[in-house]
């Protein structure tokens, strides 16, 4: 404590497949899409985050936009490292007195292999971390939701991010059983793209498909507060002439049905593996939803009806994991479940 703790700069990093969030001094200081734009010829970083996202799908052959994390794992080590460094640098420009951090807690997917774990650690160290800890995502999500992870009763969290949906049961400070599937927000977006092509003969990019998802995305065909139709513009697949198609939330509910069913099956699979005492706790408390996918209209209701256990959407689901990672950062000396 004392002088040392005063000198220790601390960062919590949620390295998501879709969004990277950094907490410094209890505040979210970086919240950017996990994308980098790299010059193909020199391998130099051109842009990161939102600026790189705006280039996505609009680049020429010399610029490449890369999402370093795909399907919940690091798909491009070099780009991941450039991204972590760049994101940490963003803090420098916002906080003048920030010196390279010494202590970091980084959130990692529960399915990470040893190699992936080491890659994240290396990247964090290269970005200035001296004292790097890692925390598994479901644990961070639970902390962020405000659950008592060390209590002797079971909690279940389902985090639906960009690349993966992570389902886990937590008790006594550990993950009792879990499953990670590669169906999440990106999959929903791809479903919408395919649907627009097949049903409406219109070609749309993944950014437009994501806009459709946010505007009229739904897990149920009968919502209490339905959103207005969303007009999609793009080229007709056959003629290349511009067309406009109004899309309703019922159509999107229909087109996402299969993917959502797969997540339901995975949740049921984890419940099946759950020891009975913990199962009883979960039925009583309900299941918590976090991650951006939790914002899909009607998802909690659909899961509740289908699985017969109440589902609760975390407050601010997009930031639950980052907040939990921030809580872990403050308790590194006390929490035994952090990975070194």
Ligand X SMILES: Nc1ncnc2c1ncn2[C@@H]1O[C@H](COP(=O)(O)OP(=O)(O)O)[C@@H](O)[C@H]1O
Q: Which residues bind ligand X (CB under 6 A)?
A: 16-19, 161-163, 185-186, 210, 213-214, 217, 291-293, 295-296, 318
- Residue 184 is a binding residue for Mg ion (CB under 5 A): no
Would you say 137 and 268 are in contact if contact means Cβ atoms under 8 Å apart? no
Residue placing its CB nearer to ligand X in the complex, 111 or 163: 163
33 binds, options Mg ion, ligand X, none, Cβ within 5 to 8 A by partner type: none
- DSSP assignment of 151-212, as one string? SSS-EEEEEE-SS-EEEEEEETTEEEEEEEES-SHHHHHHHHHHHHHHHH-B---HHHHHHH
For residue 52, give both structure tokens. Answer: 């790189």
Residue placing its CB nearer to ligand X in the complex, 167 or 296: 296
Residue placing its CB nearer to ligand X in the complex, 176 or 295: 295
Q: Which of 52, 108, 321, 322 binds Mg ion (CB under 5 A)?
A: 321
From 135, 181, 133, select the one nearest 158 (Cα to Cα): 181
The two beta strands, 242-247 and 230-235, are: antiparallel
Residue placing its CB nearer to ligand X in the complex, 129 or 161: 161
What is the DSSP code (8-state) at residue 293?
Answer: G
Q: Which of 9, 12, 16, 245 binds Mg ion (CB under 5 A)?
A: 16
Closest distance of CB 312 from ligand X, Å: 16
Residue placing its CB nearer to Mg ion in the complex, 35 or 321: 321
Cβ of 228: how many Cβ atoms within 10 Å? 10
Read off φ and ψ for residue 326, nearest 5 degrees.
Answer: -65, -40
Closest distance of CB 310 from ligand X, Å: 21
- Residue 143 is a binding residue for Mg ion (CB under 5 A): no
Closest distance of CB 188 from ligand X, Å: 7
Read off φ and ψ for residue 233, nearest 5 degrees.
Answer: -115, 140
187 binds, options Mg ion, ligand X, none, Cβ within 5 to 8 A by partner type: none
The two beta strands, 131-136 and 103-108, are: parallel
H/E element, 87: helix 77-94
- Residue 161 is a binding residue for Mg ion (CB under 5 A): yes
Closest distance of CB 224 from Mg ion, Å: 28
Reduced to 3 states (helix: H, G, I; strand: E, B; else coil), residue 136 is: strand
47 binds, options ligand X, Mg ion, none, Cβ within 5 to 8 A by partner type: none
H/E element, 329: helix 320-330
Residue placing its CB nearer to ligand X in the complex, 9 or 34: 34
Closest distance of CB 94 from ligand X, Å: 21
What gap in Å lies between CA 299 and CA 220, rounded to an integer? 7
For residue 197, give both structure tokens. Answer: 């092509």
Closest distance of CB 31 from Mg ion, Å: 12
Residue placing its CB nearer to ligand X in the complex, 128 or 138: 138
Closest distance of CB 322 from ligand X, Å: 9
Which residue has tokens 């842009």?
47
- Residue 217 is a binding residue for Mg ion (CB under 5 A): no
What gap in Å lies between CA 174 and CA 138, rounded to an integer? 10
Residue placing its CB nearer to Mg ion in the complex, 321 or 327: 321
Reduced to 3 states (helix: H, G, I; strand: E, B; else coil), residue 268 is: helix
Closest distance of CB 294 from Mg ion, Å: 11
- Residue 185 is a binding residue for Mg ion (CB under 5 A): no
For residue 176, give both structure tokens. Answer: 């009792």
162 binds, options ligand X, Mg ion, none, Cβ within 5 to 8 A by partner type: ligand X
185 binds, options Mg ion, ligand X, none, Cβ within 5 to 8 A by partner type: ligand X
List of residues contacting Mg ion (CB under 5 A)? 16, 161, 321
């Amino acid at each position: 404590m004392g002088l040392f703790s005063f000198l220790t700069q601390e960062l919590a990093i949620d390295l998501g497949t879709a969004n990277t969030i950094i907490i410094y001094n209890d505040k979210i200081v970086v919240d950017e899409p996990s994308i980098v734009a790299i010059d193909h010829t020199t391998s130099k970083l051109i842009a990161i985050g939102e600026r790189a996202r705006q280039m996505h799908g609009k680049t020429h052959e010399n610029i490449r936009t890369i999402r370093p994390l795909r399907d919940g794992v690091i798909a491009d080590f070099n780009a991941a490292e450039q991204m972590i460094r760049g994101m940490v640098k963003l803090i420098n420009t916002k906080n003048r007195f920030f010196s390279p951090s010494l202590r970091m807690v980084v959130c990692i997917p529960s399915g990470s292999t040893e190699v992936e774990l080491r890659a994240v650690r290396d990247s964090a160290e290269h970005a200035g971390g001296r004292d790097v800890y890692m925390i598994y995502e479901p644990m961070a999500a639970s902390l962020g939701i405000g659950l008592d992870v060390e209590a002797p009763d079971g909690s279940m969290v389902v985090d639906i991010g960009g690349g993966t949906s992570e389902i886990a049961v937590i008790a006594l400070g550990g993950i009792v059983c879990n499953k990670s599937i590669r169906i999440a927000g990106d999959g929903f977006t791809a479903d919408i793209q395919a649907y627009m092509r097949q049903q409406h003969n219109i070609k749309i990019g993944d950014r437009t498909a994501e806009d459709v998802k946010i505007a009229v995305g739904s897990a149920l065909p009968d919502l209490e507060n339905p959103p207005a139709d969303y007009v999609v513009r793009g080229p007709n697949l056959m003629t290349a002439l511009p067309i406009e198609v109004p899309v309703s939330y019922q159509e999107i509910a229909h087109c996402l049905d299969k993917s959502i069913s797969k997540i339901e099956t995975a949740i049921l699979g984890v419940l099946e593996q759950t020891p009975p005492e913990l199962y009883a706790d979960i039925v009583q408390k309900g299941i918590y939803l976090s991650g951006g996918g939790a914002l899909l209209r009607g998802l909690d209701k659909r899961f509740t009806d289908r699985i017969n256990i109440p589902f609760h959407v975390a407050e601010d689901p997009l930031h639950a994991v980052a907040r939990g990672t921030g809580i872990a950062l403050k308790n590194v000396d006390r929490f035994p479940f952090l990975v070194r």
